[in-house]
Amino acid sequence: MSRHVHDAAPGDGGHDTGREGRDGRDGREGEEGLAVWNAQRAVLGGLFERTRAIAGDLERVPAGPGGTARHTHTLDEAIKTLRRTTFRIMVFGDFSSGKSTLVNALLRAELLPMKENPTTAFTTVVGYGEGEGATLFQGLDPGSPGLQATISQFRQAVELRLDDRGMLVESPYLWGQVRGPYALLRDNVELIDSAGTNESPERENVTLAFLPQVDAIIFVTPARGAFKDRDVEHYLKMLADLGHKEIFFAVNQFDLIRPRDREDVRRRCRTIAESYARRPVARRLFFVSAYDALEARTARPVDERLDRESGVPELEAALADFLVHDKARIKLLRPAELLGHQIAQLDKVVMERRLLLNRSADQLRETLDSSRDRRESLMQTLGHIRTGLNGWVAETEQLLAAELERFIRGLVPEVPRWMDHPPRLKLRPFKGDRMERYAGAIMQIDDVLNRRLQDELREFAGREDGPLERFMRKREEALERSVLPLLQDYAEHLEELRADLTGSRRPVDENALREWLRDMSMHVPDRVLARTSPMLSWPNAAGAAGFGTAGAAAGAGLFALGLVSWIAAPVVLSAGAIVVVTARLAKRRLVERATGEYADALAGGAARIAGQYTEECAEGLRAWTGHVESELAAELGGLIAATEEAIASLEEGRTKVEGDRRQLDTWDTLLNGIAVELSEFKRPLIEDVR
């Protein structure tokens, strides 16, 4: 590829080639580069359309082994991405890893909400605009109507909220689009803040739906427990399978790592990132504090030292260099690699259908008839797999609830020490109403205790080789013992049937089956359990209704702990105490009573917290077992349907069979031809990787 293509930023039909394109030779080169890029995009688009036509024809025939519906869907999404000329970068990672904070830091504006609890209600696409504005969408269809909103209205809509019972309220919107004067996005770049993985199946599904449409990834992982096994084995592998090779890794909250441990963390992160980075890891891996960068960049004047120490400027510089030199090439290369994968998959479908037509109708019918016992055995094995998976889910839910409850109860004696260094409490001693007098202090105590509880739960769930990690390793071993033999039996019998019908047998890969089972554990969220805070787990709507306005709002978290009822009762102080002494005594008593009540509530609610969390985990697991069952059944059903279609063709006569064979040969020839053209198309793009 010529240098001109690098310098040309893909545009939405315009010719804005940046500063170089504003005058003289550089302007002509920019326009020439854009023309070359558009021509290459048209060539690749043609290859996609030809492949999509073949996939559509195959889909109209009853689905063969593996089916083709997923191929047409994937190709349709890729074509949309290729036609969309903006360059999309998704900030991707677990919930509460600091994605929104990092987006804000890169934009140099507090656009997105940032809190300890999960806060992002939907995926947001941020692009450049001279003025500010937002559009909110309730459907993923690009043609679905959107609601125009101000930035203030967008902020209110995008933040997850709690209802009166302390439970999360689902947003009516699936995604939003924001425009503003953000320098990083000036040249047709869009930054996507994704709703976190491992937090809500609905929000995660939207994130995953956007993944095929993006061109590069910023993978955010918290420094404490960076690159957990589930991140590496599931999400990074998924990104690789989707053809995402341009990945920037941001190890966030690195300032929280003790200085003596930082080099060990760096070394481990480098080792893992090298396996997934196309470029030298030094240009793709960054250790940052997004919060510090945002604080520094929104301060007036800007705190240059804090910004520099945050590590975000290095990430920003790498992104800027990448966008200048590589975005036009990547915009073509990633779809091209995805197309190559789809062509290979379609070629397998064509081959197996050809093999079926090489048999006689009598042979196929006889094989089908004689396979009834085997097919019945396969269905019985499928039922055993279902029973085994359901039993494993129920046992995992029960054991995890007990494990988490034990952990929470172990925290109870520590609660008083959580307030060893209390904040300077705000009291209003001259207020006659006791709720108003202590409202500010209640809010502060509530915040300190809840944050500390969340930190402890984060350690339980997120620490490498922590309690949840060890628990899930044991559960994965139990899953393999109980279900893997059944999966192997199912796969072996299915391949025997395939061999009888087609004369071709695929080898059963035990490691692939193990990996498939390990994916099960990805649906036990290794979340930080931030949603199981006292505010959520011990709602007391009746107590909250008893107080009004500022007092109720200030004490929202501690209503649930029964603390408000104590504060509302008379506080007995020495009759001769002066106001200052009264305030000091009130503060001390407030802290002592608050921590005591909090500890009691934590002990009393431990089972409820654990049950709430594990119930959500089990719900995700049960959904996964249904997916496993449907996938296994589809393999068998697809093979039978393709065989019956072949029998019908063979019985119709030689003319029909020969016509079908010619059609399969034509598809095979067309796919091979497209593959050759695609290889020629990709060569200069791959050689151009710096």
Residue of 646, 67, 635, 634 lying closest to 365 (CA atoms):
646
Residue of 617, 523, 557, 422 lying closest to 116 (CA atoms):
557
169, β-bridge pairs: 161
Q: What is the pLDDT of residue 281?
A: 82
Vertex 317 angle, CA 315 and 318, to 5°:
65
In sign, the C-alpha dihedral spanning 428, 430, 433, 434 is positive
Q: Which helix (DSSP H) or strand (DSSP E) does residue 124 occupy?
A: strand 123-128
CA-derived radius of gyration, the chain: 30
Q: What is the pLDDT of residue 421?
A: 73
Q: What is the pLDDT of residues 482-491, one digit of tens each?
A: 888 998 999 8
Average pLDDT, the chain: 75
Q: What is the pLDDT of residue 58?
A: 82
Please give the backbone phi and psi of residue 598, each rounded to the nearest 5 degrees, phi first.
-65, -45
Instruction: Give me the residues of the chain with pLDDT under 70, please.
Output: 1-34, 61-70, 114-121, 141-143, 160-170, 196-204, 229-233, 422-423, 425-440, 442, 458, 461-465, 516, 518-587, 620, 687-690
Whole-prediction pTM value?
0.54
Strands across the sheet containing 189-193: 146-149, 133-137, 175-180, 123-128, 189-193, 87-93, 216-222, 247-252, 285-287
Q: What is the largest CA-CA distance in the chain?
A: 111
Residue of 495, 523, 530 lying closest to 612 (CA atoms):
530
Q: What is the pLDDT of residue 565?
A: 43
Q: What is the pLDDT of residue 286?
A: 94
Q: What is the pLDDT of residue 231?
A: 62
Residue of 98, 466, 130 lying closest to 310 (CA atoms):
98
CA distances from 150 to 100, 111, 129 (A): 19, 12, 13
Q: What is the pLDDT of residue 263?
A: 92
Q: What is the pLDDT of residue 518?
A: 66
Q: For 586-596, b where at least 16 C-beta lie within 10 A, e where not — what string? A: bbeebbeebbe
The HSE-up count of residue 47 (CA atoms within 13 Å, CB side) is 28
Which 8-state DSSP code applies to residue 428?
Answer: -
Q: How many residues in total does the chain contain? A: 690
Helix H segments across 412-466? 434-462
Q: What is the pLDDT of residue 562?
A: 42
Token pair in block for residue 185: 């996005």
Q: What is the pLDDT of residue 105?
A: 93
At residue 436, the 3 state secondary structure works out as helix
How are beta strands 146-149 and 133-137 bridged, if at all?
Answer: antiparallel
Q: What is the pLDDT of residue 43?
A: 93
Helix H segments across 304-360? 304-309, 312-325, 327-357
- Can you point out the beta strands (E) in 151-270? 161-162, 168-169, 175-180, 189-193, 216-222, 247-252
The HSE-up count of residue 392 (CA atoms within 13 Å, CB side) is 26
Helix H segments across 412-533? 434-462, 467-502, 510-521
C-alpha dihedral (42, 333, 207, 219), degrees to nearest 10: -150
